[in-house]
Amino acid sequence: MNTILSLQQVSKTYRSGNRDLTVLDHVSFDVPAGSTMAIVGPSGSGKTTLLGLCAGLDRATSGSVHLHDTRLDGLSEDQLAAVRNRYVGFIFQNFQLLPTLTALENVMVPLELRGEKNIRPRALDLLDKVGLADRSHHYPTQLSGGEQQRVSLARAFSNQPQILFADEPTGNLDAETSEKVVHLLFDLNRDAGTTLVLVTHDLDLAAKTQRIIRIKGGRISSDERVGMQDSN
C-alpha cells in the first residue's frame, strides 16, 4: 500500500521566555493511503501541534514531513497552500465556517480556490449527503452546532482530498449530535476512499479507526493497529 504521509524524526520547539519548550520530540511514523488513524493523548501532549505539522499548517524545528511524495519543510507559504488545496481536507472543533457566506457558499470555497467550474451541483450534492439540502441558503449563525459541523464535513470533502485531518471534530457537540456527525464522517470517508487522520480525546471515536497513536510528553508512547472498524 502506498504511503501518503511520512514523518521522520520530527521535533517542534518553541522559545518561551529565555528557555526552549519542546512540544514534539523525534516523532516518526508512516500513514498508508486509504487508512484511518487517531492521535490521542492528554491535553498539552502535542496532538494538535503534530496534526498541524502533518498538514503543512506549521513547520517542524527539525526532521522531515512528506505529504503525497512532497517534502513540506523548505516549501514557501504559497507552495504549502497549493499542496493543502490540492490534497488536503480539514475539519476543526470550532467549525471555522465563513460567517458572511451561506452553507452552500462555504462548501464551494475550496472548489473556487482551485478554479473549478460547475461547482454548485457538487456542493449541493454534498450538502444533501449530510442532510442539509434544505439549509443551503442559511448562514452559520442560523445553524446549530451540529449543522455547522455537517457543513464543514461537506466542505472538507468538496475538493475530493486524498487525506483528511480532523481536530477534535466532535469536541463542541453533545453526545447525540456527535454520534450523527461521526457516522457521516466515516461514511463519507469510506465512500471517497480518503485517508483519515484525527485528533481526539474521545477514545470511543478513536476506536473506530484502524490505528491509534498515543502521544505523551511529545513522544509516541504507543502505536496500536486495531484493525478495520465499522463506524455503525
Q: What is the pLDDT of residues 10-39, one digit of tens each?
A: 999 998 888 988 999 999 999 999 999 999
**Domains, in order of start, for the chain:** 3-225 (3.40.50.300)
CA angle 194, 29, 232 (to 5 degrees): 40
Report pLDDT for 208: 93
Please give the average pLDDT of every successive group of 10 residues along the chain, which has 232 residues: 92 89 94 95 88 92 93 91 89 90 94 86 92 94 93 91 92 87 90 93 91 94 75 43
Q: What is the pLDDT of residues 160-172, one digit of tens each?
A: 899 999 999 888 8
The set of residues, in sequence order, having a beta carbon less than 8 Å from that of 31 and lying 6+ positions away, is 3, 4, 5, 6, 37, 163, 195, 197
Q: Give the C-alpha separation, 218 to 142, whole Å.
A: 39
Report pLDDT for 112: 86
Report pLDDT for 85: 85
Report pLDDT for 120: 92
Report pLDDT for 1: 63
Cell of 46: 502535542
Report pLDDT for 165: 94
Report pLDDT for 201: 87
pTM here? 0.89
Report pLDDT for 45: 86
Cell of 115: 478554479
Q: Give the C-alpha separation, 72 to 180, whole Å.
A: 34
Report pLDDT for 93: 85
Report pLDDT for 176: 87
Cell of 143: 445553524
